[in-house]
Amino acid sequence: MQSLKEVHLSGNFLGGQIPEIWEKLGGILGIGLSGVGLVGEIPSSMGMFLRNVSYLRLDNNRLEGIVPREFGLLESVLKELNLENNILTGRLPFSATFSAKMGRKLKLSGNNELCVNEVITKGSSKLCKKPVNPSAVLFSSGSSSTLSQFSSLFGFLFGVCFVLGF
């Protein structure tokens, strides 16, 4: 799995929650999980361990909650982020510099309760009203039981890796 570079499963309804497996996939360059029926929260481990990911597409699912603060750690490598049409809330954890650099490649529409620190692109999302509290950064660890809830996707992924000899 460590030699896996990209995962493209968009449009295949797999369902379930995103598991806490990202520590083993730190070398991955791109993830396309658009419209696959994902539910629940985005794990903070994605921001902590996906240090080479240049694009992440989690749009058109039923993901809810906040975008983890750990996603701010991806600013130096991320070139495209699509979170459109989920149920995400709170403040996006990126700097204004990152947001300006991303431009159209930062897609957030369809998340009515998601806000940004500064206007990124017209119509993409709303401006946050409350100031940022830098002392409120919390890191959490996930549960290994999440893996079983997302087994259909990663069972398939492991099967593909086995067939390809990874």
Range of the domain at 139: 6-164
Is residue 34 included in any domain, yes or no?
yes
Would you state the pLDDT for residue 28? 95
pTM of structure: 0.75
Average pLDDT, rounded, for the chain: 79
Judge whether 63 and 42 are in contact, CB under 8 Å: yes
Note the pLDDT tens digit of each residue in 28-51. Answer: 999 999 999 999 999 999 999 999
CATH number, domain with residue 109: 3.80.10.10
Is residue 1 included in any domain, yes or no?
no
Number of domains present in the structure of the chain: 1
Q: How confident is the model at residue 100 (pLDDT cuts 50, 70, 90)?
A: confident
Is residue 23 included in any domain, yes or no?
yes
Is residue 133 included in any domain, yes or no?
yes
